[in-house]
Each structure stands twice: as structure tokens, then as C-alpha cells.
Amino acid sequence: MVLQRLAPEDFWIPGVHWAIEVVIIIILILFLWVCVCVRSIRYFWKFPMPAVMGNAIAAGPYRSRVQPPSMIIQALEVRSGMKIVEIGCGSGFYTIAVAKAIQPAGIVFAVDIQQGMLDKLKARMEKEGVENIIPVLADAEGHIPLDDGTADAVFSIAVLPEIPDPPRALLQVKRLLKDDGIYVNAELLLDPDFPLRKTVVKWAQQAGFTLKRQLGSFFRHVLVFIKES
Ligand SMILES: C[S@@+](CC[C@H](N)C(=O)[O-])C[C@H]1O[C@@H](n2cnc3c(N)ncnc32)[C@H](O)[C@@H]1O
């Protein structure tokens, strides 16, 4: 068999300028490199995402397309007047959407461990004219200063892998939930910390939750849990 030599132009996708392809390849390599570094560091040392990156991860069209707030709202089975707690609200991209969905009587208690993130949330609340959010500065693994059974629902997005002992934080979630309340957790593969669905289910089961239903896909899973009776 005689192998034909490839001409240089055969390496590239027809119709796409080679320079664009090189840039895409470089971005992909850099992204993979960041993922490997973050995962390796976080394996030994868990730390919250720095507050300076709060707005970057919430950046508009990309996030709302791949992990739309509507998925979370659907999973939360929102209705007006609900009391909802968000763990690790960050700069509030999802907090605002959920708060709007439960207006006028509903309240979101937005918990984050960093004051810098809560400041960004407050700026977003002002910009969007949303008032039914109460920022709460607390470590989800410690004591969250809210009463037992406060919440009809609790949710968290891309937070559990940043917490050193996720089942311990989920015990707090369980305490905050009403007996018939639901806990919703969402994760996205593009997050360097992305945990598999089975890992989140294992953490939740260790804290006494049962999986009720799942939305999304392998790449962007949304899991809904109820308290074990
Ligand atoms: C990757 S960001 C996600 C923010 C937001 N949920 C989103 O999806 O846009 C994780 C957030 O969880 C917060 N966080 C990390 N560890 C926490 C803890 N132990 N208690 C409360 N919040 C925590 C971080 O400060 C950060 O704002």
C-alpha cells in the first residue's frame, strides 16, 4: 500500500482559516491545563473560588446557554411565596433569577463564605431592582445562621467540590429544609471541579438524602433530593 503524502492545507478544516483553528487549539490546551492544575491543587487543598472571578463565571450568554437558570427554576418547582436558601451564591447569577421567579412574597437567603461575593450580589440586586434576597455570610460547613426548617427548597451550583467535607455541609442543608422540602444541586462539565453524578449522589446519601429525580445530562446534571424519612 502506498501512503499518499498530505499537503499542508489538508491538515486544516475546509473553510476555516488556519489561524482561527490554531487559536482554538491553543485555548483548548490552556483550558485543559487549567483544569488539571485546579483539580490537582484542590485534591490537597480546598478553597473557594476567588471573589474577583465572581462576575467572570456568571458571564452572560455562555453560562445562560449551557446552564440556563430555567433548569434550576424547573428543578426547584418554584411557586410564589417560597422560602429558598442558596448555598454558595457567588455573584448571584442564579440567585437573581430564582428570586424573580418567586416574587412578590418569596425570599431567597443567599449564603456565601466570602464577603466579596456578597458585595457583587448586592451590586447585581441594585442593578436589576431585586429586593427579595437576604445575603448571609457563612461557611456552609459550619453553622448557617438560619432557623431549622426555614426553607421549602435549598439549591447549590458548582459549590460542593469547593467544600472540604461536602456531606457535612449537606447536613446543614438538611437542617434548614422543611420535612417535605427539596434540595437541588447542579454541576457543569466545564467547571474544572466537575464532580460526576454518582459522586454527588454519594455525598447526599451520606447526609441522609434520597435522589428524587434528575434533569439535564452527563455534562450538566441537575439532581433533586428529598430528605430520607
Ligand atoms: C464556583 S462558585 C459558584 C457560584 C454560583 N453558585 C454560580 O454557579 O455562579 C462557588 C461559590 O461557593 C462559595 N463557597 C465555597 N465554599 C463555601 C462554603 N464552605 N460555604 C459557603 N459558600 C462557599 C464560593 O465563595 C463561591 O462564591
Classify 158 in phi/psi space as left (phi over 0), alpha (psi -120 to 50) or beta.
left
Neighbours of 47 (CB within 10 A): 10
Type of residue at 71: M
pLDDT in tens, the chain (229 residues): 666 676 666 666 777 788 888 888 898 899 888 888 888 887 788 788 888 887 777 766 778 888 899 999 999 999 989 999 999 999 999 999 999 999 989 999 999 999 999 999 999 999 999 999 999 999 999 999 999 999 999 999 999 999 999 999 999 999 999 999 999 999 998 888 899 999 999 999 999 999 999 999 888 999 999 998 7
Q: Which residue owns the Cα nearest ligand 1 atom 12?
A: 88
pTM of this structure: 0.86
Q: Which residue owns the Cα nearest ligand 1 atom 8?
A: 157
Please give the Cα distance from 99 to 74 (Å, whole number).
13
Q: Is the CB of 86 under 6 A from ligand 1?
A: no
Sign of CA dihedral 208, 211, 212, 218: positive
Q: Is the CB of 114 under 6 A from ligand 1?
A: yes
Please give the Cα distance from 98 to 159 (Å, whole number).
17
Classify 65 in phi/psi space as left (phi over 0), alpha (psi -120 to 50) or beta.
alpha
Grid coordinates representing 114 are 466570602
Our mutation pick for probing the ligand 1 site, out of 98, 112, 139, counting the most ligand atoms within 8 A of Cβ, is 112
Domains in the chain, ordered, with CATH? 51-227 (3.40.50.150)
Closest C-alpha to 117, from 133, 131, 105, 101: 133
Angle made by CA atoms 132, 112, 178, in degrees to the nearest 5: 65
- In angstroms, what CA-CA distances link 125 with 93, 100, 133, 158? 10, 11, 8, 21
Q: Which atom from ligand 1 is nearest to the alpha carbon of 46?
A: 16
**What pLDDT is stored for residue 221 in this prediction?**
95
Q: Is the CB of 84 under 6 A from ligand 1?
A: no
Grid coordinates representing 115 are 464577603
Grid coordinates representing 174 are 438538611
